[in-house]
Chain A
Amino acid sequence: DAGVTQSPTHLIKTRGQQVTLRCSPKSGHDTVSWYQQALGQGPQFIFQYYEEEERQRGNFPDRFSGHQFPNYSSELNVNALLLGDSALYLCASSLGPSSGTRETQYFGPGTRLLVL
């Protein structure tokens, strides 16, 4: 049973560029959440997708956008990259919509993004 997978594992970009990160949820899960984890900090919630729609959003600018596909996989897009966007980006999957907070989230290994 495959867990949550993310690609790529590492990425280097320059300021102003755009980046797309990908996530495949754990088998049977239909909800995907994205987090940003800066060095020495805990994960910060970016947004959550369920039924191909953004259901909840944290305090992140519109430069951060996402998408969920019919197979439940998801993409995180970041436009006009800033140095401060350098971080580990985590994807987590769960079963059920955002109201189902009792469902355990399963995290992927993350994508480490470095912006130069």
Chain B
Amino acid sequence: AQSVSQHNHHVILSEAASLELGCNYSYGGTVNLFWYVQYPGQHLQLLLKYFSGDPLVKGIKGFEAEFIKSKFSFNLRKPSVQWSDTAEYFCAVIASGGSYIPTFGRGTSLIVHP
């Protein structure tokens, strides 16, 4: 069974700082990868997803993530964060071609100071 690790549980940044949140998964086969965000008081929503093709994926609100197969990683990045990026971020993996059982990481809480 696959597993997902998000190494940073809490991140605190100032506005305009660059962001990188780590996500590593354990699964030897083909995977579909996702980043979700949950803003305070709001529903969990999709930021971006990777299925195949260009390993650099661009999502909403200026976020991007890079799939590095050799490192089993799918790190989330944003060059300049804003106060409104304060939220909980979750990485998720689905093993492609197998049973549909998505596995989520435990999440990273990001606080951006204005």
| Contacts from A to B (Cβ < 8 Å) | 3-4, 40-45, 48, 55-56, 58, 90, 92, 98-99, 101-102, 104-110
Q: Check A101/B94 contact, CB under 8 A, given A42-B106, A43-B44, A90-B44.
A: yes
Alpha-carbon separation in the docked complex, A3 to B107 (Å): 24
Alpha-carbon separation in the docked complex, A56 to B106 (Å): 22
Closest Cβ of chain A to B38, distance in Å, is 9
Closest Cβ of chain A to B60, distance in Å, is 12
Contact A107 B106, beta carbon cutoff 8 Å: no
**15 further A-B pairs in the complex, CB-CB below 8 A; given A43-B44, A102-B51:** A3-B43, A40-B106, A42-B92, A42-B106, A43-B104, A48-B100, A56-B101, A90-B44, A101-B32, A101-B51, A101-B94, A101-B96, A101-B100, A104-B49, A107-B36
Q: Which residue of A lies closest to B92 (CB)?
A: A42
**Main SS of the interface on chain A?**
loop
Contact A99 B43, beta carbon cutoff 8 Å: no
Alpha-carbon separation in the docked complex, A90 to B103 (Å): 14
Closest Cβ of chain B to A8, distance in Å, is 16
Residues from chain B with a CB closer than 8 A to the CB of A106 are: 43, 45
